[in-house]
Chain A
């Protein structure tokens, strides 16, 4: 229960930051909502309407109240309320994210296992170099390069947009490239750590064949720490989506945010910040709960 309480505090903190963000902006939020030739009375009326004449604390609680009712504000760029926009964009980012993570696991699990099992050999070096490149690669650069090669030069895949699965491939590869390095390394170090434990020696002493030791015994122990980073990986996906969705014109949260930033659409920016923070915090709670199911030694507090 302590964890749930902590998460609640974190959620509150996020709302505070999101709230502060908008108030920190120079310029008058009311003015942004009106056309350029608005009169002063219209400005004052808008301010009253938006509650900007109230003390800060009252504004904050009004804001919280709105949140609880599902009202995330209004985007003047899209001329729609934010909730609808986010509800439409979130699933798209989710699809991209899942596709990317799936690709990443497809690559990193074999790489990580290979590196650990053939530790110190050329395979290990190969896997580590692959991970190093992945870590050093800028998504910006990779995305642009992929588009250049596969879409422009070879014409195999479309350059941007969404639709069928062929639109998903390049952006998913970009997402995967951000992520696989960490997973590979963690799996490798987790496996090496597990393989060095007494219980693996004991299993060998019982005549358990090597393959079973790797994939059944050591693997489960090595994978546990990976569960803990799932949270931060989601964070990376969200952050990376900004760039990737912009380059590939994928209609997800990232593109939304990117456009919002470009046009200084504060309410939209604020709400996306809020939502991403919320998702992350709640997800971490689930991850911690999941961890206690997998590793019975830890009790869920």
Chain B
């Protein structure tokens, strides 16, 4: 932290009068001008944020959008002086006219938590696990307000009630791990508003939450803004969230602001090329054209590549703590060349189904048949042969490649496991696949930590396809990637599907992606199949209650339609899950 002198009384009074004169004009709560943030790294100076100008008025919700590396998070941290020690902040950040850049730690602590609050992305990581939520909230209140413990407790209970936590007195004594993800985020928001801040910075507050929980949190934020008049600075990469809640949008790319506009304007007529690209790659829920979509499942003529019958998977929780039913009586079939998406929120069992099919998990009841044969029933060798016909892609691209193996070793591994391939043959295959996934051959000798997320995922795809499988299982393959990279990977998968003709089982929580990518959709909730049918129909015109709820909660990247939908859905109770 740079040590700037505390303004003298003459400077303060000058500031105060300047403030009063601007009061006549529009009174921005937050006013950023010419912000530059530079990092001193071992490879030289890196400008993370360049020349950013931004204002937010009272009661406004301003969204900063961008992909990773755009500088949006760095900007938000710099406002509160929470940037890392190797970063230098230059420029001006004013809160209701008072300069924040260069404040010493003590003065900053007066601002943090009381005049500006922050809500973080991962609520489970942002709460200290060894303290009760009550003690963390009470501590904050007492630091800024200097009230007695009892008064602070009362205020905390009031805040918990405000954000819709039931039985707040009891919950004060809870530890973070006893609450659900949505509840933890509500607690964070409650702490954030407990000292009446002028500004709340919300850094990707709903990214780690399920779609339905996200909808509730967004409603909560809007609610608080309406009741308390707080200004909200929302950092996000999700255009649907922006369309739902933001008044104004600031688009950032590589440290600069490329466009600023009101929400409706931005979506209707984006001026900058980058904004246009960003909006175009957002996956959309396909609409059901009248009479165009099929309402019946297409019956495949060929025998099914994959047939799952009454699959049940039960996990025991160890010593007398009962069982946990992860998958409950799930059945579906997949034909050659067909793409089936299993859609569901966290805990729905979709990943467990994928793992069981791939052989990573044993079914408790029911069968999985690959080409008519049950791999779990047969002996080891036959099972392994069957598995060769299956390729698998994981969610975290970096985690699925062995950090000590070079790219070529990772891709070639499935072939080197089989006998009868010379190293020359394997090497040629590796080259073929690198071409197919549009990666340069020079990447063969690199290690995973040298690759970007998108590159790693392509390597994983190459590895999965090297044995020419008839079935590709993709477990949330794009969830960890930026939106633009996601679009590229999905396009690549489409092409490969057409060229190589494999069937694809696609696990995802993203309804829009499922809708545009898959032929058939299976919706799961709490281990059971809730709905099953052609993807466009299931997600465009859902029949089951749960699917309807899911689709309704998904924010559409179109402010006009999104806000109209909100009115239709109506105001349900603000209680938490």
Contact = CB atoms under 8 A, between A and B. Distances in A.
Interface of A: 1-2, 197-210, 212, 217, 220-221, 224, 294-297, 301
Nearest to A1: B319
Contacts of B122: 198
Given A2-B319, A201-B82, A296-B175, A208 B109 contact: yes
A198 B126 contact: yes
Interface residues of B, number: 33
| 4 smallest beta-carbon distances between A and B, as pairs | A207-B113, A206-B113, A207-B112, A198-B125
Given A1-B319, A220-B131, A205 B82 contact: yes
A174 B547 CA distance: 69
A202 B118 contact: yes
Contacts of B106: 209
Interface string B113-152: 1100110101001111111000010011001100000000
26 contacts: A197-B125, A198-B126, A199-B125, A199-B129, A200-B128, A201-B82, A201-B126, A202-B118, A202-B120, A203-B136, A204-B112, A205-B82, A205-B117, A205-B120, A206-B140, A206-B143, A207-B108, A207-B111, A207-B112, A207-B114, A207-B140, A208-B109, A208-B139, A209-B109, A210-B105, A220-B131
Nearest to B135: A216
Interface in B177-193: 177, 188, 191
Contacts of B129: 199, 221, 295-297
Contacts of A294: 130
Contact of B80 (A197, A205, A212, A220): A205
A295 B191 contact: no
Nearest to B80: A205
A224 B144 CA distance: 29
Contacts of B144: 207
Contacts of A208: 109, 113, 139-140, 143
B380 interface: no
Given A2-B319, A210-B105, A294-B130, 18 more contacts: A197-B125, A198-B120, A201-B82, A202-B120, A203-B136, A206-B117, A206-B143, A207-B108, A207-B109, A207-B113, A207-B114, A208-B140, A208-B143, A209-B143, A217-B131, A220-B130, A220-B131, A295-B129
B79 to A, nearest CB: 10
A294 B136 CA distance: 17
Nearest to B144: A207
Interface of B: 80, 82, 105-106, 108-114, 117-118, 120, 122, 125-131, 136, 139-140, 143-144, 175, 177, 188, 191, 318-319
A200 B129 CA distance: 11
A209 to B, nearest CB: 6
A126 B188 CA distance: 39
B166 to A, nearest CB: 21
Contacts of B105: 210
A199 B126 contact: yes
A199 B118 contact: no
A217 B140 CA distance: 12
B230 to A, nearest CB: 16
Given A207-B143, A208-B143, A201 B112 contact: no
B219 to A, nearest CB: 23
A203 B109 CA distance: 10
Contact of B112 (A198, A199, A206, A217): A206
B130 A221 contact: yes
A205 B112 contact: yes
B143 A202 contact: no
A6 to B, nearest CB: 13
A198 B188 CA distance: 13
B114 A205 contact: no
